[in-house]
Chains A and B, each alone.
Chain A
Amino acid sequence: MADIVALVGNPNVGKTSLFNALTGSRQYVANWPGVTVSRKEGIRRWRGREIKFVDLPGIYSLGALSLDEKITREYIINEAPEVVVVVVDALNMEQGLYLLLEVLEMRENVMLVVNAIDEARKRGVYINKYELEKHFGVHTVLTSAVTGEGVTELLDKILHMLTSKQVHSLVEITYPEEVEDKINKIVEIIRKKKELHSYKPRWLAVKFLEGDAQVLELLKSCGIEDEISQEEHEKYRSLIASRRYEYIETVMKEAVSSKMEKMSFSEAIDHVMTHRFLGIPIFLSFMYLAFKFTFDVMAPFSELIDSGMAALGDWLRNVMGDGWATSLVVDGVIGGVGGVLVFVPNIFGMFLALGFMEEFGYLPRAAFVVDRLMYKLKLSGRSFMSLILGFGCNVPAIMSTRGIGDPRERLITILVSPFITCSARLPVYLLLVGALFRGKEAAMIFIIYLSSMVLTALSSILWNKILFKGEPVPLIMELPRYRLPTLKNLMLYVWDRGKHFLEKAGSIILIASILIWILGYFPNAGDINTSFAAHMGKALEPIFRPLGFNWKMVTALIFGMAAKEVVVSTFSMLYGFSDEAAAALHQAIAADFTPVTALAFIFFVMAYIPCFATIAAIASESGSWKWAWWSVLYSLSVAYVLALIIVVVGGMIA
């Protein structure tokens, strides 16, 4: 069986890069905190021994305030890995060393890795690892996960710890006398409890004094009551933290020497990027560039795929002749799946633009810039970071809320996440905007995305006023250094997110396309107006008549509940049974929609029922199906009202 080695550290210190370097994995490495929301595992065989590495979510402390901290702490306690490697950033060591002290209090066999040593050297920062080893009592390795420096040494040191019988890491920090007295008393009581023997008594005692809710509960279940007042807990917490920082400062003075004179590149850029007045227009400009890239730059590639699909359809029709099988392949599969595949370049383009901003280190700055605005919405920049992930897919956005410590803020973020326009909705917008707003595509898409953000903001205000009153926890976040995006990491980012879209095209969209074809073709062999799909759409049409939606649009909305791209597949078939060319599809849509109806439809798609995967994610992350159904009902109501407003106001203007 493989020995387990856990990687622990602050967010964005290069844990995942190191994990990749150690295991040969290809996990995407983000340049912003909160990306590893669940643990990742990889195996490495080193000098004949199998080692399982576990990459845990980035945390600032073991306080178990956020879900990330809980996951990490529980993993270290329950899974008891043979070695815990604490990774710290060479240019920002203090907070990482604080975490190291906490881990050292918790268990033995801990190692320290100082990562990004190459960048530190470039900036004139020199680290004496022997001093760190002396003061913390742990093996220390200086690494650069990017260049691979120190990785072999790290593997050898880990192997040494796994094979030697010694117990490593015995340094304990001494707290002020009044704290030590208390700790000793509590330790004595804890030692008498057999059920607590798997824990380090001193760690439990320190956490007890700090007022850690989980530890208090654990000790209470063993008959140890908390007789310390809240104020006293606060006092002990402060004394303990001060002593730890004091210790770190002393060590840093001896272990780190710096010759930094000029301002750093990141400092210089941040002075402007995070400026209180310039920050928001810069953010909006970058978002506009991203959407311009998504539409204008990627349009020729979409057209190429479009022509390819049309040619394939023509060829198959010639080869196969007329009949239901031809219609199934050409109208059903190529029309349905191909109709969605046409937008692959746009989706990959959007991920490329977002990936560039993330890789460059801009996205955390955007979170920082909008934090003040978010605070007014009773959310924080941390929520924004989760929401922005929703541009790709709402499911990881909802999963990433695990890093939000405040349960109120977390639940609101989960519930408003589906309003952020995911990549699945982009093909619907592109199809309708391309058909009805020619020449203004990039600007329209930008406005639609902005509107989805406004809708998210308004919803969070509403949720906060009605159901979850409270103040958000202020955002405290380390801004990562700016870095030039590497092509490899950028491609990995695009592929990681884009492949999900391709997988859907080959699975759910293919199945849905065949199903829609069956419902559209039968019972009268291709007469769409008397098909089962027409009956279904026409049955619900009266509900949507005030919005100006005909039965074809209603049918598309029904199928779109499975996955939003299916709306496009449905249109491709319902409008394309007689003519498979995409230009004709645009013309057919332009003939059936007015610009107002198209806008109402776009906003309906933006807001209505999240896809099945998102509904399941809401249920699992909120811990209740009640919230998932509530989200469905709420989004459906919002979509209807929004579309109705557009139709009424648009009708008045027109």
Chain B
Amino acid sequence: MIESFLISILGGGYAALGIIYIATGNILWGFLTLTLSAVYFFGFEKVLGSGKEHKASHILTGGIFALIASGFLIIEWLVSLLSEPVKPTTVDWWFLGVSVVAFLGFLFARKKFV
């Protein structure tokens, strides 16, 4: 139950952010965010059989992916303080917020299934 909830929330969240990124001209980051969304939504691929473990593997991978992408964003902001500071946009903050949930999902799936 909780796995499906996480997949829906995170898949939907990243899908919305991906569309906003593309609409605002950040096409490549939008593509990356939509891929992240797909990683979660493909967790619904097999409803029968090894359902929970299948979902868990998507939550785990999505969590790692989100962690790496957010890490890169944060490092970029921190390093930019050396010269011209880059200002995160509202969508960037939302991306980080959703990624925190993605990481919590990762910790949950890791404890329960791996």
Contact of B57 among A263, A282, A284, A299 (CB under 8 A): A263
Interface residues on B, range: 20 to 34
Given A263-B57, A297-B76, verify A272-B32 contact (CB < 8 Å): no
Contact of A281 among B27, B38, B58, B84 (CB under 8 A): B38
Q: Are the C-beta atoms of B61 and A269 separated by less than 8 Å?
A: yes
Q: Are the C-beta atoms of A269 and B82 separated by less than 8 Å?
A: no
In the assembled complex, the Cα of A120 lies from the Cα of B114 at a distance in Å of: 15
Q: Are the C-beta atoms of B72 and A289 separated by less than 8 Å?
A: yes
Q: Are the C-beta atoms of A304 and B110 separated by less than 8 Å?
A: no
Q: B65: CB under 8 A from chain A?
A: yes
Contact of A285 among B65, B110, B114 (CB under 8 A): B65
In the assembled complex, the Cα of A284 lies from the Cα of B80 at a distance in Å of: 25
Q: A253: CB under 8 A from chain B?
A: no
A265 closest partner in B (C-beta): B114
* Cβ contacts under 8 Å, B61 to chain A: 268-269, 271-273
One digit per residue, 1 when the CB lies within 8 angstroms of any chain A CB and 0 when it does not, for chain B 75-114 equals 1100110111010000000000000000000000110011
Given A292-B76, A297-B72, verify A275-B114 contact (CB < 8 Å): no
Q: Are the C-beta atoms of B76 and A288 separated by less than 8 Å?
A: no
Q: Smallest Cβ distance from B59 to chain A, in angstroms?
A: 9
Q: A195: CB under 8 A from chain B?
A: no
Given A272-B39, A300-B79, verify A281-B31 contact (CB < 8 Å): yes
In the assembled complex, the Cα of A265 lies from the Cα of B56 at a distance in Å of: 11
Q: A293: CB under 8 A from chain B?
A: yes
Q: Are the C-beta atoms of A301 and B82 separated by less than 8 Å?
A: yes
Q: Are the C-beta atoms of B32 and A278 separated by less than 8 Å?
A: no
Q: Are the C-beta atoms of B69 and A289 separated by less than 8 Å?
A: yes
Contact of B79 among A264, A275, A297 (CB under 8 A): A297
In the assembled complex, the Cα of A545 lies from the Cα of B19 at a distance in Å of: 44
Q: B60: CB under 8 A from chain A?
A: yes
Given A281-B38, A300-B83, verify A268-B56 contact (CB < 8 Å): yes
CB contacts under 8 Å to B, within A300-314, are 300-301, 303-304
Contact of B42 among A262, A275, A289, A293 (CB under 8 A): A275
* Cβ contacts under 8 Å, B4 to chain A: none
Q: A443: CB under 8 A from chain B?
A: yes
Q: A296: CB under 8 A from chain B?
A: yes
In the assembled complex, the Cα of A265 lies from the Cα of B35 at a distance in Å of: 21
One digit per residue, 1 when the CB lies within 8 angstroms of any chain B CB and 0 when it does not, for chain A 93-108 equals 0000000000000000
Considering residues B27, B39, B57, B110, which has the most beta carbons from chain A within 10 angstroms of its beta carbon? B57
In the assembled complex, the Cα of A194 lies from the Cα of B36 at a distance in Å of: 67
Q: A446: CB under 8 A from chain B?
A: yes
In the assembled complex, the Cα of A595 lies from the Cα of B5 at a distance in Å of: 48
Q: How many residues of A are in contact with the other chain, CB < 8 A?
A: 33
In the assembled complex, the Cα of A287 lies from the Cα of B50 at a distance in Å of: 31
One digit per residue, 1 when the CB lies within 8 angstroms of any chain A CB and 0 when it does not, for chain B 59-76 equals 011101100110010011
* Cβ contacts under 8 Å, B82 to chain A: 300-301, 304
In the assembled complex, the Cα of A289 lies from the Cα of B32 at a distance in Å of: 9
A283 closest partner in B (C-beta): B35
Q: Are the C-beta atoms of A263 and B113 separated by less than 8 Å?
A: yes
Q: Are the C-beta atoms of B80 and A300 separated by less than 8 Å?
A: yes
Q: B16: CB under 8 A from chain A?
A: no
In the assembled complex, the Cα of A211 lies from the Cα of B113 at a distance in Å of: 47
Given A285-B32, A303-B83, verify A263-B39 contact (CB < 8 Å): no
* Cβ contacts under 8 Å, A442 to chain B: 28
Q: Are the C-beta atoms of B39 and A288 separated by less than 8 Å?
A: no
In the assembled complex, the Cα of A290 lies from the Cα of B110 at a distance in Å of: 26
CB contacts under 8 Å to A, within B35-57, are 35-36, 38-39, 42, 53-54, 56-57
Contact of B75 among A267, A272, A278, A297 (CB under 8 A): A297
Q: Are the C-beta atoms of A278 and B35 separated by less than 8 Å?
A: yes
In the assembled complex, the Cα of A307 lies from the Cα of B113 at a distance in Å of: 52
Q: Are the C-beta atoms of B114 and A282 separated by less than 8 Å?
A: no
Given A263-B53, A265-B60, A265-B114, verify A277-B42 contact (CB < 8 Å): yes
Q: Are the C-beta atoms of A272 and B83 separated by less than 8 Å?
A: no
Q: Are the C-beta atoms of B42 and A272 separated by less than 8 Å?
A: yes
* Cβ contacts under 8 Å, B53 to chain A: 263, 268
In the assembled complex, the Cα of A262 lies from the Cα of B114 at a distance in Å of: 6
Q: Are the C-beta atoms of A268 and B65 separated by less than 8 Å?
A: no
Q: Are the C-beta atoms of B65 and A299 separated by less than 8 Å?
A: no
Q: Are the C-beta atoms of B83 and A299 separated by less than 8 Å?
A: yes
Given A269-B57, A269-B60, verify A282-B72 contact (CB < 8 Å): no
* Cβ contacts under 8 Å, B28 to chain A: 288, 442-443, 446
Q: Smallest Cβ distance from B89 to chain A, in angstroms?
A: 14
Contact of A272 among B57, B72, B113, B114 (CB under 8 A): B57
Q: Smallest Cβ distance from B61 to chain A, in angstroms?
A: 4
Q: Are the C-beta atoms of B31 and A285 separated by less than 8 Å?
A: yes
B56 closest partner in A (C-beta): A268
Q: Are the C-beta atoms of B32 and A268 separated by less than 8 Å?
A: no
* Cβ contacts under 8 Å, B75 to chain A: 293, 297
* Cβ contacts under 8 Å, B54 to chain A: 271
* Cβ contacts under 8 Å, A285 to chain B: 31-32, 35-36, 65, 69
Q: Smallest Cβ distance from A434 to chain B, in angstroms?
A: 14
Q: Smallest Cβ distance from B38 to chain A, in angstroms?
A: 6
* Cβ contacts under 8 Å, B60 to chain A: 265, 268-269, 272
In the assembled complex, the Cα of A446 lies from the Cα of B31 at a distance in Å of: 13
* Cβ contacts under 8 Å, A289 to chain B: 32, 68-69, 72
Q: Smallest Cβ distance from B42 to chain A, in angstroms?
A: 6
Q: Smallest Cβ distance from A351 to chain B, in angstroms?
A: 15
In the assembled complex, the Cα of A601 lies from the Cα of B2 at a distance in Å of: 54
Q: Smallest Cβ distance from A369 to chain B, in angstroms?
A: 13
B68 closest partner in A (C-beta): A289
Q: Smallest Cβ distance from B6 to chain A, in angstroms?
A: 14
B110 closest partner in A (C-beta): A265
Q: Smallest Cβ distance from B19 to chain A, in angstroms?
A: 16
* Cβ contacts under 8 Å, A298 to chain B: 79
In the assembled complex, the Cα of A574 lies from the Cα of B36 at a distance in Å of: 46
B86 closest partner in A (C-beta): A296
A272 closest partner in B (C-beta): B61
Given A262-B113, A304-B82, verify A272-B35 contact (CB < 8 Å): no
In the assembled complex, the Cα of A304 lies from the Cα of B80 at a distance in Å of: 12
A-B contact pairs, 14 of them (CB 8 A): A262-B114, A265-B114, A268-B56, A268-B60, A269-B64, A272-B39, A285-B31, A289-B72, A292-B76, A297-B75, A300-B84, A301-B82, A303-B83, A442-B28
* Further 7 A-B residue pairs, CB within 8 A, beyond A297-B79, A301-B82: A262-B114, A265-B110, A271-B54, A288-B32, A297-B72, A300-B80, A300-B84
Residues of chain A touching chain B, judged by Cβ–Cβ distance below 8 Å, are 262-265, 267-269, 271-273, 275, 277-278, 281-282, 284-286, 288-289, 292-293, 296-301, 303-304, 442-443, 446
Give 4 nearest A-B pairs by CB, closest first: A272-B61, A268-B57, A300-B82, A300-B83
